[in-house]
Amino acid sequence: MASEMSPRPFHVLFFPMMAQGHLIPMTDIAKLFALRQGVHVSIATTPLNATRIQSTIDRAAYITIHLLQFPCSEASLPDGCESLDLAVSQGMGMAFTEALALLHHPFEQLVEGHRPDCIVSDMLFPWTVEVAAKFNIPRLVFHGTGFFAICAGNSIERYSPHESVATDTEPFLLPKLPHPIEMTRSQVPDFLKTRTPFTELMERVQESINQSYGVVMNSFYELEPDYVKHYREEVRGSIKAWHIGPVSLCNKDQIDMAERGKKAFIDPTQCMDWLGLRDPGTVVYVSFGSLSQMGGAQLMEIALALEASGRPFIWSLRINAEWLPDGFEERTKERGLIIKGWAPQLMILNHPAVGGFVTHCGWNSILEGVTAGVPMVTWPLFAEQFYNEKLITCVVRIGVGVGSQVWSTSVEDESRPVIKREEIVRAVAQLMDGGDEADERRRRARELGETAKKAVEKGGSSYMDLDRLMEELKLYGHQTK
C-alpha cells in the first residue's frame, strides 16, 4: 500500500546533440540529476551514441535510455553516421546538421508517450521548444560552452566591432564586456561575418532560448563571476541560467574517468604506468579534441616541436600517423607516448606528472584542464574556441597562446597559416619553464582547480545552483498540474 501512495518521481528527459563534445557533458549532467532524491532521468539518443554511454550509465544511478533512429538515408549520409565526429568532410558535416531537424517527429512521439516533467535539450535542437510547449513541459537549454564565450559572441553579434577595422589582422575591442578583450576579424566565426545556413540555425537557436524556461551551464561561478552576472543581466535578462559544473567531476571512479565518452584506444593502466615513471609536472599533454582536424604539414610541425622541446609528452591523435617524420617514434620512444585514437583524458590531466596541456580550447577540454589545475597552451581552431582562449589567457591568466589567428573548420583552408615548430616550442617553454611568470601561472591554475572541486561539493556554488534549479522545477510542476 505504501508503494501505491508514493509520489511519481520527477521525470527529466535529456536530449543531447549527437557529438562527443555535447553527449559527454550532458550524460554527466544526467548523472547529477539522477543523484537527486525523487528524480527519474532518461536520455534520448541514437543506437550508436547509446553504445558510447551505456557502460557509464550502467554504473550510474538508474537512468533509462530511449532510442531514436538517426535519419542517415534521408540525409544522404552513410549508414551508421550517427555522430558528428563520423562526418569526415565539410559536406557531410552540413548534411548531418540539417538531419537533426528530421528528429522532430520521433522526438515528439517519445515525449507524448512518456510525458516527462522537464526536457533538457541541446541548443542545436531549437524545435524542441515547440514540443515542450505542446505538452506544457518546461524546456531547459544546454549550451555546451561557458558564460564568457556567450557574452563575447553576443558582443560581436550586437555591436559588429569587426566591421570597424580595415584588415583581418587589425585588433578590435569587444564592446561592453567586463574586461578589455581584443580579437581580430580573422578570429571571428564565419557565420557572423557572412550569412550562411548556420547563421539561420543560430537565429532559431536564440529564438528558442528566449521561449525556454532557462539555461543550464557546464561552468562554475568562481571561474567567470563577472560573466555570470553579465549574462544574466545584459545578455539573457529574464531567461534564467544555472551554473552546475564542472560536470566532469561526477566521474570519481577510475573506470568512469577512463571510459568517459567511449572506451579508450589505449589500456588506461598502461597510460598511468607510463606517467608514473615521469617526474611531477614535467609531461606535456597534447590533444585537439574529437572534431578538430589539421593538415599533414601542421601535424609535422607539432611532431618536430615535441621532439625539439626535449620534454616528455603524450600526444592524442585522431588519425593514423603515416605523416610522422621518419624515425620520429623511434627517436622519442623513451619520452613520448602517442595515442592513435580516443584517450583517457580525465585520467591523464589529473596525473601529477602532467604539467601542461596543449589544447584546441574546446569547452570540455578547457574545463577538464581547469579542474585538474593544469596550465594550458591555447590553440583555437573554430566554433567558440577563440573566445575560450581569451578567457584562459586574458581573464583567468592560466594559459599561453601559440599564435593561432584564423577561424576555420576546413583542413584545406589556405588562409589558416601553418604554425611553425619554433612558435610551438616557444609557447611550451613559456608554459613549462621556471620563472616568476610561469610559477604564478601554475599557482593560479592550482588554486582554480581546487576551487572547481569545491564548487560541486555540498554547499559549493554549483551544488547549490543545482539544488535551486531542482526546487524551481518541482515547484513549477506542482503549479501547472
Tell me which of 22, 40, 243, 351 is the catalytic residue: 22
Q: What are phi and psi of 12, to 5 degrees?
A: -115, 125
Q: What is the DSSP letter of 379?
A: -
CA pair distance 140, 209, nearest whole angstrom = 8
Residue pair 144/211 in contact (Cβ under 8 Å)? The answer is no
Who contacts 352 (Cβ-Cβ below 8 Å, separation ≥6)?
280, 281
Q: What are phi and psi of 140, to 5 degrees?
A: -100, 145
209-237 burial string, b = 16+ CB within 10 Å, else e?
beebbbbbbbbbbbbbeebbebbbebbbe
Residue with cell 564548487: 455
Who contacts 182 (Cβ-Cβ below 8 Å, separation ≥6)?
171, 172, 173, 174
Tell me which of 85, 122, 256, 465 is the catalytic residue: 122
3-state secondary structure of 310: coil
Q: What is the DSSP letter of 417?
A: P
Does the annotation mark 179 as catalytic? no
3-state secondary structure of 171: strand
Half-sphere CA count of 254, side-chain side, radius 13 A = 6
- Taking each helix axis from N to C end, the angle separating 461-479 and 20-34, rounded to the nearest 10 degrees, works out to 70
CA pair distance 168, 406, nearest whole angstrom = 9
Residue pair 80/86 in contact (Cβ under 8 Å)? The answer is yes
User: Which among 206, 171, 202, 164 has a CA at the least distance from the CA of 187?
Assistant: 171
DSSP secondary structure, 237-298, as one string = TTSEEEE---GGGG--SHHHHHTSSS--SS-HHHHHHHHHTSPTT-EEEEE-TTT----HHH
CA pair distance 244, 376, nearest whole angstrom = 23
Which residues lie across from 184 on neighbouring strands? 171
Does the annotation mark 22 as catalytic? yes
Q: Which residues are catalytic?
A: 22, 122
